[in-house]
Amino acid sequence: MQYIFCILQYLYYICPMDNLKLKMARVEKGLSQQELADLVDATRQTIGLIEKGKYNPSLNICIKIAKVLDKTLNDIFWHEEEK
List Cα–Cα distances, 1 to 24, 30, 61, 70, in angstroms: 11, 8, 26, 19
pLDDT, position 34: 98
Q: How far is CA 68 from CA 7, 8, 31, 79, in A?
A: 23, 20, 10, 20
Q: What's the pLDDT at 78?
A: 83
pLDDT score for 77: 86
Q: How many residues does the chain have?
A: 83
Answer CATH for 2-77 from 3.40.50.150, 1.10.260.40, 3.40.50.11240, 1.10.3720.10: 1.10.260.40
pTM reported for the whole predicted model: 0.76
pLDDT tens for each residue of 16-40: 446 789 999 999 999 999 999 999 9
CB 1 within 8 A of CB 30: yes
